[in-house]
Chain A
Amino acid sequence: MKPYPYPNHLDNVLSTFKQKFRSWLFRQQVSSGTITLNQRRIFILPTRRGLGFVLVLLLMLLGDINYNLSLGYVLTFLLATTAAMTMFHAFRNMAQLEIHAGHNATVFAGDKASFNFHFHNTSKLTRYQLNLRDHNGHNSLFDLPAFSNSKIELSIPAIRRGWLDCGPLTLSTEFPLGLFYAWSYLHFDTRCLIYPHPAESIPLPLSTAQDGSGKIATPGDEDFAGLRNYVAGDALQRIAWKSLARDQGLQVKQFSTLQGQELWLDWTLPDHAAGERKLEILTRWVLDADSQGLRYGLRIPGQEIAPTHGALHQEVCLQALALYPLGTA
């Protein structure tokens, strides 16, 4: 169904022109830094309710003229002016906000990814009921107090593993009376890493470990080797709090490196499974191995991560799984 009764070619020309005009008017650039909402970025149009109110005002004016109601004129003009002024207020409710994208925590597929944006309100105006939404209808409604820095979260369901781009966003407001809709397009190059969805519990492939047994690195196995001075970057768990309490300065416990066999989580291990399912099982194993404190390595086509343990290692493994290019495997 065509919306306009134009000849076909004209229709085409027109729609192309319209598209070009739109893309020129609303030209969006992906921003990696701070966006300041200036008048070039904010658009305003009356809402449907606003047009309805114009109708009410016209009816009032007719009544004033017909019945010669002077006070009616006052009321009509007062309301009309107030309504028109709300355009400024809608604009002002968004203007000069400084926005930048923040760090987004990784999540597993199936959870909700929350994108963080930092809104800096440098003015003494409270900003009311700003609506940040993506183009799939996920939104977040918030106020910004005067002179404030606020972190706003936008939750978007994470369906697939890999990088989730939040895409172009719209920030809008209808403050104060809902007669005008002011909006601005925001497009940040912010993304969120989505790990594969972990499979249901499947026993770790301990029996198939290379030398027949996974080396369990229980705390008892670690040999305490002494203390050394703290160096920036040392893990918090290793700080010798007792020696700190004894006023001996910040020191770190040192352990002798573990010598033992490793658990290899290999691409070929989850047999009877293929593709995404394989990744899900491996994800589950990485999580389980880590929670049991095992030393483990990950071997997937094209990539091998040497066995070790710790939060960072887990992250590296999960990232490798999240970004594994299945299509080419």
Chain B
Amino acid sequence: MKLDRAFVYGLTACILLVSAPHAAYMPIWVSTLCTILLTWRLYLNFTAAALPPRWLLLGTTSGGIAGILITFHTLFGREAGVALLILLSSFKLLELRSKRDATVLIYLATFIIITNFFNSQSIPTALYMLVTLLVIIATWVQMNTGTLALKPRIHIAASLLLQAIPLTLLLFILFPRIQGPLWGMPQSNYSRSGLSDSMSPGSLSNLSLSQEVAFRVDFEGTPPPREMMYWRGPVLWDFDGIAWTRGNRVLSKIPQLDNLASAIDYIVTLEPHNKLWLFTLDIPTGISIPYNMTDDFQVQARESVSSRIRYKAHSQLGYRANAEELPYQLKRALTLPGNLNPQARKLAAEWRQSLPGDEAIIRTAITRYNRENFVYTLEPPLLGINGIDEFLFETHQGFCEHYASSFVFLMRAAGIPARVVTGYQGGEYNQEGGYSIVRQSDAHAWAEVWLDQRGWIRIDPTAAIAPERVQNGLSAAVPDSPALPFLARTQTRWLLKFRLNLDLLNHQWNQWVLGYNTERQFAFLRRMGMDDVTWQKMAINLMIGVGILLGLIALVLLRKLYTKQTDKTQVLYLKFCKKMAKVGLLRAAHEGPQSFAARAVQSKPQLAEGINEITSHYLAIRYVSLQQKERLSALRKAVAAFRV
């Protein structure tokens, strides 16, 4: 069977649509090869030339498979599998001979759509999926409608999809969700932006350029003031002169907290960052998913966060942390590398000698940042090996990592145990949705010092030099510069509102569509009034729901079988007769329109004009074939205007 030319165009469009989103993720040679194959097929179809011989296809296909094997070293991994599928479907287009081949291609196309969700599951992706499905089904339909034009086929495809929506929704809500994975899935090794477990000059300011969402927070009750929102991430202890690292945690003691005050509960929806840590407000006391708490109050997940997760967290804004610290840890918090940064060491030593105590030293250090015209900037000058000296005494320009790093260095040099804490600070409150958005541009670093009896205390030197950063965010603290990410800049009101609404939409999408897992399913069903949710109950409800919906849809679909052709002229004329019946003039069954009109005019001469007009229009439509449309609308007007 020779396939219709329009049908081949349709199939090519299907393959093109489903593979296009992969182009960015495929090895360049796969994308190029597929483009060539598709173009070739289109050319062959256009010129109605014969398909390439089988041996040539077999040769090139094996070449393609070998290429994938060389590039990925396997045929079965996620990336390799997708590349293979796309390549094979492009080749299949070139040996499209029968209806069976076409069916295989359509099935392949539907399957390739799903692989796109590895890369993105956003709302635009979902819309794109719908468009692709529409094209696929419109093409698919062609196998069973012969030479139907594109428009009616699209119509059939669209109505098929629309009719499927109610049942799809029901299945989505009630179909039992099994928590994957069923088999080990290879970790994808593409990195995601986010905090790393080390901090060196430039690492945070680079991150600050990203407007990606790090996580979103729904507060229960009123959110705390912005300057209290310190989202605790990795705590860094070890300094090698350039970078701060977490170091090896050799011992772990249960963290101590007392004097707790200002409890706060909130729900965090964390974007995947492929690391262990979970962000919580300073200071966390517990979260709703399995976690480990280190003795420096880092909350860590059991497995690295590779997909979006949601957890409830509890924090205390007022606290006393580890008032008794292990000597080993205190020693760690005082260690400085070699003899770098001599000027800073000298300054700290002077402070230690001249000032009465730890608190005075801290205060002096903070006021020094204020006094010496330090600048808070996203684009600080590059620093050498004695970076802290250069920053403190020469350049005076830095981002939060410079301030935190130099402050902790000074403290340690002065004999006060100190460490760097990284995380996020603040967040944008979305009034439309009542939650806060924390972006990568909110990444921050601050310091913690340990004081006898008082434990670890948070000191944020950035707050001293640029209090707006802590109170109002990055855009308030650094001058409007092109380096600043677009979203972090101040914006007009409607733009802001639009942006917040868009984010709300994404947030809801993430929660209700993408984050709809076993746990959420059960919670949702409980809220819908299904008490003690079980699999059996869900299955029964699912079946009942499917049954009812199928019945309703069948009713709607089959009703169309019985809609009879309506004769508009007849309907209008009958309306006229009905009006006449109101004044006692019933048209007898044997009475033609003309004789009825004559009788009516005789008994109701005041209506003669209307009766005659309507009757003449009616007769003209029935017996004169010209100007049917005009006459029909004239009849409609006349009947509407007719008053008895």
**Interface residues, chain A, CB within 8 Å of chain B?**
49, 52-53, 56, 59-60, 62-82, 84-86, 88-89, 91-92, 95-96, 122-125, 128-129, 141, 143, 147, 173-178
Q: How far is the CA of A264 from the CA of B618 in the complex (A)?
A: 63
Are A85 and B160 within 8 A (Cβ)?
yes
User: B211 at the A/B interface (Cβ < 8 Å)?
Assistant: no
Given A81-B171, A95-B558, A173-B144, 15 additional A-B pairs, CB 8 A: A56-B111, A69-B117, A75-B114, A77-B171, A81-B164, A85-B164, A85-B557, A89-B160, A92-B557, A95-B561, A128-B145, A129-B144, A143-B146, A176-B141, A178-B144
Residues B114 and A70 in contact, CB atoms below 8 Å apart: no
Instruction: Please report the C-alpha to C-alpha distance between residue A62 and residue B114 in the assembled complex, in whole angstroms.
Output: 11
For residue B164, which residues in chain A have a CB less than 8 angstroms away from its CB? 78, 81-82, 85
Are B145 and A129 interface neighbours, CB within 8 A?
A: yes
Binds A, one of B189-197, B413-421, B514-522: B514-522
B172 to A128, Cβ gap below 8 A? no
Is B475 in contact with chain A by the CB < 8 A criterion? Answer: no
Q: Using A60-B114, A88-B553, A123-B563 as known contacts, say yes or no to A52 and B103 having CB atoms under 8 A apart.
A: yes
User: Which stretch from B125-133, B223-231, B374-382, B449-457 is at the chain A interface?
Assistant: B125-133
Whether, in the assembled complex, B319 has its beta carbon less than 8 Å from a beta carbon of chain A, the answer is no
A81 with B168: CB separation less than 8 A: yes
A77 to B103, CA, bound (A): 20
Asked whether B513 lies within 8 Å of A70 as measured between CB atoms, the reply is yes
A80 to B133, CA, bound (A): 13
Residues of B within 8 A of A96 (CB): 561-562
C-alpha spacing A92/B160, complex, angstroms: 13
Q: What residue in chain A is nearest B565 (Cβ atoms)?
A: A147
Cα-based distance from A75 to B127 in the complex (angstroms): 11
B100-112: CB near A (< 8 Å → 1, else 0) gives 0001000100110
* CB atoms of A74 and B160 under 8 A apart: no
Interface string of B156-179 (1 = CB under 8 A from A): 100011011101100110010011
* Contact indicator A81/B182 (Cβ below 8 Å): no
A and B contact pairs by CB, cutoff 8 A, 8 listed? A56-B107, A60-B110, A69-B117, A70-B513, A73-B175, A74-B129, A76-B114, A177-B144
Q: Which residues of A contact B2 (CB under 8 A)?
A: none
Chain B positions within 8 Å of A71 at CB level? 117, 121, 125-126, 129, 513-514
- Asked whether, in the complex, the Cβ of B182 is within 8 Å of the Cβ of A89, the reply is no
Q: How long is the Cα–Cα vector from A123 to B557 in the complex, in angstroms?
A: 12
* Cα A175 to Cα B160 with chains together (Å): 12
With contacts A67-B180, A73-B172, A85-B160 known, is A176 near B144, CB below 8 A? yes
Give the Cβ gap from B147 to chain A, nearest Cβ, in Å. Answer: 10
When chains A and B are docked, how far (Å) is the Cα of A173 from the Cα of B143?
Answer: 12
Q: Which residues of B contact A143 (CB under 8 A)?
A: 145-146
Tell me if B562 and A123 are in contact (CB < 8 A): yes
> Could you tell me if B168 and A77 are in contact, using CB atoms closer than 8 angstroms?
yes
From A70, A122, A175, contact of B145 by CB (8 A): A175
A56 closest partner in B (C-beta): B107
Q: Least Cβ distance of B557 to chain A in Å?
A: 5
- Cα–Cα distance between A62 and B183 once the two chains are bound (Å): 10
Q: Shortest beta-carbon distance, B6 to chain A, in Å?
A: 16
Question: Do A128 and B185 touch across chains, with their CB atoms under 8 A apart?
Answer: no
Contacting residue for B307 out of A62, A68, A129, A147, CB 8 A: A68
Are B114's CB and A129's CB within 8 A? no
A70 touching B171, Cβ below 8 Å: no
Partner of A125, one of B110, B183, B560: B560
In the complex, what residue of chain B is closest to A126 when comparing beta carbons?
B152
- Give CA–CA (A272, B110) in the complex, Å: 72
- B114, B160, B307, B563: the one within 8 Å of A86 (CB): B160
Interface of A is mostly: helix
Complex contact A70–B144 (CB within 8 A): no
**B140 interfacial contact with A, CB 8 Å:** yes
Q: Give the nearest-CB partner of B107 in chain A.
A: A56
Flag whether B554 is at the interface (Cβ < 8 A): yes
Give the 3 A-B CB pairs with smallest separation, nearest first: A81-B164, A77-B171, A81-B167
Is B181 interfacial (CB 8 A cutoff)?
yes
| Best-buried of A71, A95, A122, A129 by chain B (most CB within 10 Å) | A71
Q: How far is the CA of A56 from the CA of B106 in the complex (A)?
A: 11
Chain B's nearest CB lies how many Å from the CB of A50? 10
Q: What residue in chain B is nearest A76 (Cβ atoms)?
A: B114
Report the Cα distance A180→B516, complex, angstroms: 33
State whether the Cβ of B137 lies closer than 8 Å to any Cβ in chain A.
yes
Contact check, B129 vs A124: say whether CB atoms are below 8 A apart.
Answer: no
Which residue in chain B gives the minimum CB-CB distance to A90? B144
Shortest CB distance A54–B (Å) = 11
| Interface contact A77-B185, CB-CB below 8 Å | no
- With A68-B180, A123-B563 already in contact, the answer to whether A63 and B114 are too (CB < 8 A) is yes
The CA of A82 and the CA of B513, in the complex, are separated in Å by: 20
- Whether B516 and A70, one on each chain, are in contact in the complex, defined by CB atoms closer than 8 angstroms, is yes
Q: Does B148 contact A (CB under 8 A)?
A: yes
Residue B527 interfacial (CB < 8 Å)? no
- A147 to B129: give the CA distance in the assembly, Å: 36
Is the C-beta of B330 less than 8 angstroms from some C-beta in chain A?
A: no
B144 touching A92, Cβ below 8 Å: no
Does residue B118 face the partner (Cβ distance < 8 Å to A)? yes
- A70 touching B175, Cβ below 8 Å: no
- A222 and B103 alpha carbons, distance in the complex (Å): 70
How distant is the Cα of A91 from the Cα of B563 in the complex, in angstroms? 16
Residues of B within 8 A of A72 (CB): 114, 117
Contacts of B144 in A (CB 8 A): 128-129, 173-178
Q: Tell me whether B178 and A65 are in contact (CB under 8 A).
A: yes
> Is the pair A123, B561 in contact by a Cβ cutoff of 8 Å?
yes
User: Are A82 and B110 in touch, CB under 8 angstroms?
Assistant: no
Contact B515 A75 (CB under 8 A): no
Q: Could you tell me which residues of chain B, from 73 to 131, have a CB within 8 Å of some CB in chain A?
A: 103, 107, 110-111, 113-114, 117-118, 121, 125-126, 129
Q: Which residues of A contact B563 (CB under 8 A)?
A: 123-124
Chain A neighbourhood of B558, CB < 8 A: 88, 91-92, 95
CA distance A123 to B182 in the complex (A): 50
Closest Cβ neighbor of A73 among chain B residues: B172
Closest to A83 in B: B164
Q: In the complex, what residue of chain A is closest to B108 when comparing beta carbons?
A: A56
- List the A side residues contacting B141 at CB < 8 Å: 176-177
B142 closest partner in A (C-beta): A176
Per-position 1/0 for B452-494, Cβ under 8 A of A: 0000000000000000000000000000000000000000000
Contact yes or no, A67 B126, CB < 8 A? no
- Is the CB–CB distance between B181 and A66 below 8 Å? yes
Tell me, rounded to whole Å, the shortest Cβ–Cβ distance linking B579 to chain A.
29
Known: A128-B146, A129-B145, A129-B146. A70 touches B121 (CB 8 A): yes
Are A89 and B557 in contact (CB-based, < 8 A)?
yes
